[in-house]
Each structure stands twice: as C-alpha cells, then as structure tokens.
C-alpha cells in the first residue's frame, strides 16, 4: 500500500516536472523567472563609429524588451550589459575581457564594424564563447578558422554588391558602362566591397580608369573628385564604412560638376535621413547601395520589431538597429535550439548545422561563420529608398538609369 | 597644366580654412604655453551651435558666427577660470592632459545635447562652386578663406594695435617682467585663452558647412592642426598661416599626383624635414630655454 502511494506520488512529480520543462522550453507566454541570463556586448557608443554603435544598442535593447515581455530566454529574464568601446580597437579588447572575466556574462553579442570585430572576436574565440556579430563582413574576419564566430547579415563584403554587378551585366550593350572608377577606403569592410565590384565589372568588360585607396581619416575629397572627373568614368563605385566618406565624395563630385551614369556606394546611402540631409534630397536620385534590411519586409518577427522600435524611438529603425536585433535573434535561436546555454560549443555547432529565421530573412553559415545569402540592391528614387533587386523583394519596379545630374 | 592649377587652387583654399582653425590654437600656445587639445572639440561644439541656429532659426551658418563667437569667448573664459588657471606655470605636458580631459567632457556633452548622429548644415551654397573659365572654386572654402582673413587680421590688429595686445605680447615674452611693469598676467591669460577659444566660433561655422560632423569628429582635426602649428612655429600667427597653406597644398598635390593613400602622410614628412632644418618651425622664434626657465 505504502509503496503504491509513493509510486503515484513519484509519477505525479515526474509529470509535473515534464510539464514545467515543456513550458520553459517553448519560451512563449508566461513570466520569466529565476536568475537573469546576462548577455554582454561592447559597442562604439562614442567616437567615429558612434552612429551605427548607438543604432545597434537600440536593436539590442528592443530585443531585450521583446524577449522579456514574451517569457524570457529559456524561461529566464535577459539582461543585456553594454559597454562603450569608444570606436577604439584597444578598448574593445579590454571591454570583452572584462565582460567575460569580471561581469561573468553568460553569452556575448558582437560589436560594430569589421575594424572592431576583428580584435573583439579573437577575445571571444580564445575564451571559447559564441560570438554573433551584427556587422563586420570583411573577408579577414573569416580567414582565421574561428569556430565560435557568426556574422548575422546576408553576405560578406566582397559579395555585398553582387546584385549590382549582375544588374550592370544585364544591361543592353548600348547602355552598358564602358569605363569604371573605384574610390576605395583603406577599411577592412569598405575596401573589399569596392574591390569586389571592380573585379565583377572588369570581368564584364568595363575598363578601369581610376582605382585608388584612400586612408579612412580622409575628409577632403576635392582632389580625388578632380582626378576621377578627369577620367570621365561611366560608373563610379565607392567602398567605405559609415556615413561621412560617401557624403564627402558626393559633395566634392558636385563641386567639380561631374556626375556618372551609374553610382554605387557601399554604406553611406543606407543612412536614410542623415544621408539625404547631408547631400541634399535632390542629389540622392539614382544612387545605388546594398542593404541588409528593408522595413517593409514580410520576414518573421519584423512586424513585432517595427512596432516596438517605433513605439520606443518614434521613427523607423535604421539598418544598423535591425542588424543588432537580428544578431540577437540568431543568439536566441541557438540557445533555444540547444535548449541550454551551458555549452558554448554546442551553440556554435547548432548554428553551423541550422539556418535561422531573422528579420533580415533566413540566414545560414559556412564553417568559417560567413553567411551564404545575398544583400538586397537598393536605390534612391524620388527622395525615397527603394529595393530594386532581387525582383521578388523589390519595392519599386523601375530602376533609375542613367543617374541624373546633380542639382544646381 | 589645367589640373595642376586647379589642384593648387583647391589646396590653397582648404589651407585657408586650416589657418582659421589653427589660429586660436597657436595664440593660446604662444602666450600661455598651453597646448589646447580641446580646441578641436570646441570648434565641433561651435559647429553644433551654428547648425542649431541654422536649423531652428534659419540663420545662415556663416552669419551665425556673429552669435557663436561671443558664446565661445564666454566658454573659453569659463574654462580658463575653472580649470586652466590652476596649471599656469606647470609644464606644457600638464596642459595636454588637462585639455584632453576637457575635450572628452565637451564631446560627451555634445553627444548628450545633439546625439551622436551626423549633422550637416546645408545652406544654398553648400557643395557648389564658382566657375571661372576651366577652374572651379568651392564656395564654402572661398567663404572660409574670407572669414579666415578677417579673423586673422582682427587678431593681428588686436596683438599689434591695442594695449591688451601689448600686454599679451609682454606676457608671452616674459611673465615676471610683465608683472613688474604692472601687467595683470592672470587677467591677460584669461582674456587670451577666451580670445583663442572665440576663434572656434567662426571655425565651427565653416566646419558645419564643409563636412558632416559628429561629437567625435574632433580627433581627426586636432592632430592636423597641431601639425600645422608645429610646422609654422608654435605661437606664431603668420607661421600658422604658412603652415596651414603648406599643409593644404601638400595634401591635395599628393592625393592627385601620388595617391590619396599618401595624402595624410606627406604633410607630416614635410613637417619632419622642416623641423630637421629649422627645429623652431618656419616662423618660430628661437628661445634660450636655459635662460627663460
């Protein structure tokens, strides 16, 4: 009799435990409880990269609020700890060491730009911690054989403009550019983007008439614009990181009075209002760029992200905020896929084997952590940013070509 | 040939803007032996003020210098009274530490007030040029040079033609003797520092039109400005002008005829060569430090 009773009790406890585990496992609904999971990151909140850094911070914050409102990560609340690396390669190393050793964070998220992620990801790798970075597509990132590194965008820098090169090649012969000029920042991200375009267009028979690397601290592009204009190239492509370089090249080209037929810039035109305000809205017409995020996209979770971002910041999210959110989504997917955060190696293995649905679309990675998808090709049209390729994601069915002259 | 002349024009024009930005720095060093590393952060701060006046009140950024100059004068005076005066007589390296801290504070405050997003004033003449024959003259740089000439002449007149100017020069040559003949060295130093900082009003106005800026933009500028005043001779106004023009021309020439990659390096090579031949800079006075100290 006694043993029968105890059997029933044991069975009941086991069933209850299973139900409880089931609730925790699905992560939806219910209050998060227990010790918070600490997720650490260092971002360039001040200094040269403060713009994308602050945007990424917003992305991380929105993710933290969204996940905590939905029952937390594996049933536990999430606390994102963010340090400021001042856009400095030395500080970012100190920060990640401190996050791991002093703050004892459970998980890491990456910082912004290839420049800062190069040293920061090495700290994570050395400590055998999963490192999902929201930006940092330089080929250098993926040539080091890291196991714990994942880049949460669609493609690496050399492939950023693949759809642009494809589009140029698809033009009828009489519209195809004959000559190209490449203005290349000495930057681990911007450089490979422009070099990727140059390689692609040269293969298509576009003759290179100017290709020069400039130091990233260049502000005055008057001399470069004068030299470029002297060659009268049909297409100009600029590879740089951040907002300013592209704005300054446009200003200088406008001062010289030279406008190419096709104009591609790596990251500058993705800065929405900041870009159009800085060059004047009329001068944005026809400029191409590659972008990872489209606010109008029907990707899973995007609606929720948009609503939360708009409610908190009263504007549409910049690309960099979306990238931050997506990186956190990748981290979340790995934790939920494995069902535990105790084994960082298991998290990394899971990501190598699976693809993840993010607000940027589905992402998957090769063995170096380089993503295997393609960026969207976007163009400024009548003062708005439009996606023009691939066609099934396009928000505009026309492409402005050739680019009109600069405004007076 | 056309291109050579065009590149020279561009180099001289940007050099004029550099001269404007370097003038306050060299004045403060010449008189007070203070290396004001915060000068860059101050003119970015002034650029934010100009931007605000342009955005909110529609005042042309260049006209706004009339408003921002007195504000920056007051900021400079407060900085001196609040901090700089406590290190007077200390080695110049102390001033580097102190003013670098101030630069970080100013950058932080600018970030809190205006956020870290990029700002640019875009009045009608931004990114456009005057054209004469085959040549083009970017308007913002032309106006910047014009303002530089006005500010530099005003500074020169102040130093050479007023009692205050005589007092400033007296203090810069020998503090003890200046005190002996009745110059209030403390007040003169406060005024000099304030005047030096006031020049960032005009500098910031031009900077707000020239390039987009964020609170952290000052780092790129300050190293170039320090290079300019070292080249020209620290403390010498005409030296700052010559140094600035040399920097502007060598930068643009290198970017065009060698490679943009070398454009930021060559000016420093020029500085090294000049300093090897003339350690005091182009216009710097030779000091007998053994006697002065």
Which pLDDT band, with edges at 50, 70 and 90, does A26 fall under? very low
* pLDDT, position A5: 53
If pLDDT is split at 50, 70 and 90, which confidence band does A25 have? very low
Q: Select the more confidently predicted residue: A392 or A324.
A: A324
C-alpha distance from residue B60 to each of B113, B123, B151, B154, B204 (Å): 21, 7, 18, 22, 13
Q: What is the pLDDT of residues B193-214, one digit of tens each?
A: 999 999 999 999 999 999 999 9
ipTM of the complex: 0.86
State both tokens at A254.
């406008």
Chain-centroid distance, C-alpha B284: 17
In chain A, which residue's Cα lies nearest the Cα of B109?
A46
- pLDDT at residue number B266: 79
Residue A31 pLDDT grade (very low, low, confident, very high; cuts 50, 70, 90): low
Cβ atoms of residues A372 and A381 within 8 Å? no
pLDDT range class, residue A242, cuts 50, 70, 90:
confident
Q: pLDDT by residue (tens digit) across B57-67?
A: 999 999 999 99
CATH number at residue B136: 1.10.3470
More reliable by pLDDT, A2 or A368: A368
How many residue contacts between A and B have a Cβ separation below 8 Å? 119
Q: Give B104 or B30, the one with higher predicted confidence.
A: B104
The mean pLDDT of chain A is: 90
Answer with the residue of higher pLDDT: A378 or A297: A378
Q: How far apart are CA B74 and CA B63, in angstroms?
A: 19
Measured distance CA(A154)–CA(B152) in Å, rounded: 53
CA separation for the pair B11, B156 (Å, rounded): 24
Evaluate whether A33-154+296-363 and A159-291+376-393 have a shared fold.
Answer: yes
Tell me the percentage of chain A whose pLDDT exceeds 70.
92
d(CA A65, CA A307): 12
**Nearest Cα residue in chain B from A230:** B3
Residue A135 contacts residue A152 (beta carbons within 8 Å): no
| Contact yes or no for A212 and B120 at CB 8 A | no
Q: Give first-to-last CA distance, chain A, whole Å.
A: 97
Mention every residue, 6+ apart, whose C-beta is less than 8 A from residue A315. Answer: none
Judging contacts by C-beta atoms under 8 Å, the chain B residues touching residue A220 are 14, 251-252
State residue A19's pLDDT score.
47
Contact residues on chain A for B249, CB-CB shorter than 8 A? none
Instruction: Write down the pLDDT at residue A393.
Output: 82
Sheet order of strands, A78-84 included? A78-84, A37-43, A107-109, A131-133, A149-151
Structural domains counted in chain B? 1
Q: How is chain A split into domains, by residue range?
A: 33-154+296-363, 159-291+376-393
Q: Name every residue in A having a CB less than 8 A away from some CB of B.
A: 45-48, 50-51, 53-54, 87, 186, 212-215, 217-220, 222-224, 226-227, 230, 243-244, 247-248, 250-252, 254-257, 271, 274, 277-280, 283, 408
Among the partner residues B115, B118, B127, nearest to A244 by beta-carbon distance? B118
By residue range, what is the domain housing residue B46?
Answer: 2-292
Reply yes or no: is the peptide bond before residue B31 cis, omega within 30 of 0.
no
Distances in Å between the alpha carbon of A103 and those of A40, A41, A69, A225, A343? 8, 11, 24, 48, 18
pLDDT above 70 for A168: yes
Angle at B227 between CA B155 and CA B200, to 5 degrees: 40
Which CATH number does the domain A159-291+376-393 belong to among 3.30.420.40, 3.40.50.2300, 3.40.50.261, 3.20.20.80?
3.40.50.2300
Looking at CA atoms only, how far is residue A275 from chain B in angstroms? 9
pLDDT of B272 > 50? The answer is: yes
Residue B116, pLDDT score: 81
Identify the residue among B6, B15, B108, B127 best suited for mutation to test binding to A, counting A beta carbons within 10 A and taking the highest. Answer: B127
- Asked if omega into A402 is within 30° of 0 (cis), the reply is yes
Cβ pair A226:B251 closer than 8 A: no
Residue A228 token pair? 């470029």
Confidence of residue B286 (pLDDT cuts 50, 70, 90): low
- Convert the pLDDT of each residue in A69-118 to its tens digit: 999 999 999 999 999 999 999 999 999 999 999 999 999 999 999 999 99
Per-residue pLDDT averaged across A223-235, rounded? 95
Q: Mind telling me how many Å the CA of B252 is from chain A's nearest CA?
A: 5
- Rounded Cα–Cα distance for residues B103 and B73 (Å): 16
Nearest residue of A to residue B139, measured between CA atoms: A255
Q: Which of A185, A186, A255 is the mutation pick for testing B, counting most B CBs within 10 A?
A: A255
Contact criterion met (CB < 8 Å) for A280 and B252: no
| pLDDT score of A187 more than 50 | yes
Q: Which is higher by pLDDT, B31 or A218?
A: A218
CATH for A33-154+296-363 (3.40.50.2300, 3.60.21.10, 3.40.1440.60, 3.40.50.10320): 3.40.50.2300
Residue A28 in this model has a pLDDT that exceeds 80: no
Comparing CA positions, the residue from A221, A214, A194, A227 lying closest to residue B261 is: A214
* Contact state of A226 with B6 under an 8 Å Cβ cutoff: yes
Q: What's the whole-number mean pLDDT along residues B97-111?
A: 95
φ/ψ of residue A13, rounded to 5? -60, -45
Q: What is the pLDDT of residue A48?
A: 79
pLDDT of res. A201: 96
| Range in A108-117, A221-230, A293-302, A322-331 with the lowest mean pLDDT | A293-302
Residues of A in contact with B118 (CB under 8 A): 51, 243-244, 247, 271, 274, 278
Pairing, β B129-132 against β A288-291: unpaired
pLDDT at A1: 44
- The percent of residues in chain A predicted with pLDDT above 90, rounded, is 77
Residues in B closer than 8 angstroms to A239, CB to CB, are none
What is the structure's pLDDT at A259? 97
Which of B120, B129, B219 is facing A277, going by the closest CB pair? B120
Q: Is the pLDDT of residue A176 over 50?
A: yes
């Amino acid at each position: 009799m006694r043993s029968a009773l105890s059997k029933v009790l044991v069975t009941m406890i086991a069933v209850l435990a299973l139900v409880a585990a089931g609730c925790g496992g699905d992560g939806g609904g219910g209050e998060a409880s227990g010790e918070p999971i600490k997720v650490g990151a260092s971002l360039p909140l001040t200094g040269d990269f403060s713009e994308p850094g602050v945007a990424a911070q917003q992305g991380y914050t929105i993710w933290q609020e969204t996940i905590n409102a939905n029952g937390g990560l594996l049933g536990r609340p999430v606390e994102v700890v963010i340090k400021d690396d001042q856009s400095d390669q030395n500080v970012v190393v100190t920060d990640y060491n401190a996050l791991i050793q002093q703050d004892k964070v459970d998980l890491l998220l990456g910082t912004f730009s290839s420049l800062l992620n190069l040293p920061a990801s090495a700290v994570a790798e050395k400590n055998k911690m999963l490192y999902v970075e929201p930006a940092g597509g330089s080929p250098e990132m993926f040539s080091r054989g890291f196991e714990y590194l994942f880049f949460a965008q669609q493609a690496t820098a050399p492939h950023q403009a693949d759809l642009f090169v494809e589009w140029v090649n698809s033009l009828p012969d009489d519209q195809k550019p004959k000559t190209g000029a490449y203005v290349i920042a000495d930057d681990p991200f911007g450089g490979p983007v422009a070099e990727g375009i140059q390689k692609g267009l040269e293969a298509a028979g576009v003759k290179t008439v100017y290709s020069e690397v400039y130091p990233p601290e260049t502000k005055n592009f008057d001399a470069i614009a004068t030299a470029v204009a002297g060659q009268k190239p049909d297409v100009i492509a600029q590879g740089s990181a951040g907002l300013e370089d592209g704005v300054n090249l446009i200003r200088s080209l406008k001062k010289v009075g030279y406008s190419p037929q096709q104009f591609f810039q790596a990251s500058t035109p993705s800065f929405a209002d900041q870009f159009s305000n800085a060059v004047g809205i009329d001068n944005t017409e026809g400029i191409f760029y590659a972008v990872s995020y489209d606010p109008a996209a029907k990707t899973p979770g995007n609606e929720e992200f948009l609503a939360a971002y708009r409610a908190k910041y009263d504007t549409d999210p910049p690309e960099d905020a979306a990238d931050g959110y997506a990186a956190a989504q990748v981290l979340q997917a790995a934790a939920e896929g494995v069902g535990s955060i105790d084994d960082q190696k298991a998290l990394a293995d899971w990501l190598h084997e699976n693809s993840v649905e993010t607000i940027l679309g589905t992402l998957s990675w090769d063995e170096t952590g380089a993503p295997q998808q393609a960026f969207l090709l976007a163009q400024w049209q009548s003062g708005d940013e439009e996606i023009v390729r691939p066609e099934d994601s396009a928000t505009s069915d026309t492409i402005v070509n050739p680019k009109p002259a600069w405004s007076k | 040939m056309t291109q050579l002349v065009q590149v020279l024009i561009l180099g001289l024009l940007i050099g004029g803007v550099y001269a404007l930005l370097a003038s306050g720095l060299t004045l403060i060093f010449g008189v007070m032996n203070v290396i004001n590393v915060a000068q860059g952060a101050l003119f970015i701060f002034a650029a934010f003020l100009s931007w605000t006046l342009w955005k909110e009140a529609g005042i042309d950024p260049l006209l706004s210098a009339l408003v921002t100059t007195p504000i920056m004068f007051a900021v400079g005076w407060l900085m001196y009274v609040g901090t700089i005066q406590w290190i007077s007589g200390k080695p110049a390296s102390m001033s580097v530490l102190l003013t670098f801290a101030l630069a970080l504070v100013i950058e932080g405050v600018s970030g809190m007030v205006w956020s870290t997003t990029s700002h640019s004033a875009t009045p009608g003449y931004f990114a456009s040029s005057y054209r004469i024959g085959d040549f083009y003259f970017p308007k913002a740089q032309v106006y910047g040079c014009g303002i530089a000439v006005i500010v530099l002449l005003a500074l020169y007149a102040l130093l050479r033609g007023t009692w205050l100017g005589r007092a400033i020069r007296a203090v810069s040559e020998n503090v003890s003797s200046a005190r002996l003949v009745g110059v209030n060295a403390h007040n003169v130093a406060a005024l000099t520092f304030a005047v030096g900082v006031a020049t960032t009003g005009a500098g910031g106005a031009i900077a707000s039109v020239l390039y987009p800026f964020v609170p952290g933009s000052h780092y790129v500028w300050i190293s170039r400005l320090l290079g300019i005043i070292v080249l020209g001779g620290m403390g010498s106004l005409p030296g700052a002008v010559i140094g600035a023009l040399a920097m502007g021309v060598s930068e643009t020439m290198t970017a065009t005829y060698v490679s943009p990659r070398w454009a930021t390096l060559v000016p420093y090579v020029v500085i090294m060569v000049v300093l090897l031949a003339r350690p005091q800079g182009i216009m710097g006075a030779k000091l007998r430090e053994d006697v002065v100290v």
